[in-house]
Amino acid sequence: MFQRVQRIFENLNHRQRLNDVANSLGVTYLRLGQPADAFRCFERTEALSLERGSEGGLAFAKGLMGWSAYLQGERSTALPLARAAWHHMLTVPNALLRYVLLHMLAFHARDAGELTLAARMVGCSDAMRIRTGEPWDVCFAPHVKALDVALRAEMGEQYVECRVEGETLSLEDLVPEVQAFLDHILTVPPSIKTGTPLTTRELDVLRLLAQGISDKRIAQHLHISATTVSKHVSSMLGKLEMHNRVELARWAVERGLVDAPFS
């Protein structure tokens, strides 16, 4: 369908209409639970936004590409795209763009164990959304609720306090902290650049495991089942020829996958 519409607007040389169609189709794919197809649509909006020199278009395209990758479990792809979207977004006074992207980044903060920051980002984002009078789109609403439930379970009353604090903050108040988080999380230790036999998802599990987080909590972080977490752990033990989780955690610490030694 998109290819037919694409040909029509390309023949008319109407790049803005073509961008709108690609973006709408991508959002539709997200609503249908098809992030891989959505990603391809947003790649097209990214290219069109570059052609038009649209900072807002680039922010939306990269943000939604990052979210589509995140939903597929491709964290190593999702986070750099989210950071690029963040930089474009800072120059665009669009409330929808700002609260959606801030909430997307809250998922990454939670995954990295930055729970306080994640809770404050959630509060700030939702306060901005409420001021617009708009509900969450159905492609985001279930995930927003899941993040709220997960943070509440992990932080208890502290989550409410941090979220309320976030509601009083402007985006500008959070910029230095979010920027510092993005700079830190995307700084890859040299030992990791040499590569490992582990997949991206196994590394995601290992980073959390090495912090002493339970399988149940890891599953909540990564939106997978506890059974799947156990399978990843077994796979890592086999690949690295190790016998237990303590050895896995030590291996992760020695390679800089976590900031502090496990206990």
Which pLDDT tens digit goes with each residue over 75-96?
888 989 999 999 999 988 899 9
Distance CA 96, CA 112 (A): 25
What local confidence, expressed as pLDDT, does residue 148 receive?
94
Instruction: Provide the b/e sequence for 190-216 (b: ≥16 CB within 10 Å).
Output: eeeeeebebeebbbbbbbbbbbebebe
Q: Considering only CA atoms, which of 76, 77, 69 is closest in space to residue 30? A: 69
Q: Considering only CA atoms, which of 67, 105, 89 is closest in space to residue 181? A: 105
What local confidence, expressed as pLDDT, does residue 146 receive?
93
Chain centroid to CA 152: 19
Distance CA 102, CA 27 (A): 18
Q: For each successive 10 residues of the chain (263 residues), what is the average pLDDT? A: 56 67 89 93 89 88 94 87 92 92 94 89 96 94 93 91 95 91 70 60 84 85 81 89 89 71 41
What local confidence, expressed as pLDDT, does residue 239 receive?
87
Q: Which two tokens stand for residue 204?
A: 């995601």
**In sequence order, which ranges of the chain are alpha helices (DSSP H)?**
2-11, 15-31, 35-52, 55-71, 75-89, 95-111, 115-132, 141-155, 157-167, 171-185, 190-193, 200-209, 215-222, 226-240, 245-254
Asked if 226 and 215 touch (Cβ cutoff 8 Å), the reply is yes
Distance CA 86, CA 64 (A): 11
How far, in Å, are 122, 174, 187, 203, 216 from residue 210 at the CA level? 26, 29, 19, 10, 14
Q: Which two tokens stand for residue 10?
A: 């390309």
Give pTM, 2 decimals.
0.69
What local confidence, expressed as pLDDT, does residue 6 receive?
56
Question: In this structure, which amino acid lies at residue 196?
Answer: T
How far, in Å, are 100, 115, 124 from residue 171 at the CA level? 12, 18, 7
List the end-to-end C-alpha distance of the chain, in Å, as a whole number: 55
What local confidence, expressed as pLDDT, does residue 192 receive?
47
